[in-house]
Structure 1
């Protein structure tokens, strides 16, 4: 219902916010402002009216567009818990053999548990899995599954909520009350805050893992125009 409602209302929202101060690189449209967003303290100019993208989504799009073969080569892609706008655009791309998967979402191709993916070993050239692992208690098992189904020389983006100032991931599985999880982990259904040792976890299952502050490649003017966060990391993984 919410997906259908957002599709219906989006043209009106886009028209209302039309302007020249901000540009969403995903749809190329410009706006006088982006919308505030965030649990608790809200971030100004975070949510694009057109694509409903956040800073991390726009950064990822720019990375895919400028630094990878995602838009040009024939690639078999697995997208876990796909963002609505990405799913819509990626499904239309003729160079992609695109599969979306999630345990609960009504809009995906395959209903799948990330702890036991129903795909053969070494099936996908590219895997995208954003803001999923913070919900999973056994996150290393989920990482292992992503590694298993990735082809050799494959790559992926596996974003999670991170505190860059936190060296060691903070998790406590005795905290189950939604209000307490909100207090400790930033959202009612999260089970941890990832620290910089997140990349060690990715490496422990076999991945090469890259800490990429991609937004910092842009000028301050473009960071503001695209609504990016220069402290946001893109975790890029590769399978040798």
Structure 2
């Protein structure tokens, strides 16, 4: 029932509306799931289970969405990676966060070490609005760019990658996670596919224009990045991975200029 309701809401309402709605709904739902079986490392919430999540039956999964901060598996993995593998939480950094996730943006904004700017094409929680294919900032402006689950929506992803690379300072890094088919060596895309239902069938969502394969790192390298590929979830012990409900097969890409 809950899974079907969430799927229906994701299908019916546009992203800006969902963002506004969730600010109120999640506070109520979280109360009914309080427990000790799972824990969100982002907000510290402890629950009997996480909520199900997914736009379609094929992409839906149980125990995915934190009812308190709305983190998904990938968000919890990213938070842990940034804590363990980078100086993101301690060093003075100028950060551009494109398509800011609700579970992150308020927490990042409170960090005194960050000069933090959010951006999006239309999100109501963004500081500035622009197309990631044409970023309106000078070269070498930012130490860090975060742009997760965006490139699969972008017509010319290579252009967006080059723009992100351009605005990074030398030795700066970008976190650019995307949905992937880990069984496919090559990204699947066809500009002639415009029917929403066919895009959903091929690319998992009706507003996706491609589904990345294992050649994703090569695409990032073509934009100039030095790419470190890591299955970070598998570096953690099984008990911790289960407790945080992490995506065990996710490849984490650390992209440095």
TM bucket (normalised to shorter chain) is: over 0.9
The corresponding residue for 1:16 is 32
1:30 is aligned, of 19, 43, 46, to: 46
1:3 equivalenced with 2:9 (yes/no): no
Mean Cα displacement is larger for which, 186-195 or 83-92? 83-92
Contact 2:188 2:212 in 1 (8 A): yes
TM (norm. structure 1) is 0.97
Q: Which runs of 5+ in 2 are unaligned?
A: 1-16
1:82 equivalenced with 2:120 (yes/no): no
1:167 is aligned, of 151, 174, 185, to: 185
TM (norm. structure 2) is 0.90
- Secondary structure at 2:22's aligned position in 1? helix
1:120 equivalenced with 2:138 (yes/no): yes
**Distance (whole Å) between structure 2 residues aligned to residue 210 and residue 165 of structure 1:** 20
- Secondary structure at 2:87's aligned position in 1? coil
**Distance (whole Å) between structure 2 residues aligned to residue 33 and residue 26 of structure 1:** 15
- Secondary structure at 2:246's aligned position in 1? coil
Matched pairs, number: 239
Tell me the CA shift for residue 88 of structure 1: 1.2
1:72 equivalenced with 2:90 (yes/no): yes
The corresponding residue for 2:220 is 202
**Distance (whole Å) between structure 2 residues aligned to residue 127 and residue 225 of structure 1:** 29
Contact 2:119 2:130 in 1 (8 A): yes
2:176 is aligned, of 138, 155, 158, to: 158
- Secondary structure at 2:42's aligned position in 1? coil
Q: Tell me the alpha carbon deviations over residues 120-165 of structure 1, each in whole angstroms, 9 at most, x when there is no partner.
A: 1000001101000001121100000000000000011100001111
Tell me the CA shift for residue 107 of structure 1: 1.4
Q: Tell me the alpha carbon deviations over residues 67-122 of structure 1, each in whole angstroms, 9 at most, x when there is no partner.
A: 11111010000111111121111111111000111111121111111111010100
- Secondary structure at 1:174's aligned position in 2? coil
**Distance (whole Å) between structure 2 residues aligned to residue 40 and residue 236 of structure 1:** 31
Structure 1 runs of 4+ with >4 Å offset = none
- Secondary structure at 1:71's aligned position in 2? coil
Tell me the CA shift for residue 9 of structure 1: 2.8
- 1:46-57 alignment runs, 5 A limit: 46-57=64-75
- Secondary structure at 1:163's aligned position in 2? coil
- Secondary structure at 1:231's aligned position in 2? coil
1:133 equivalenced with 2:159 (yes/no): no
Q: Which runs of 5+ in 1 are unaligned?
A: none
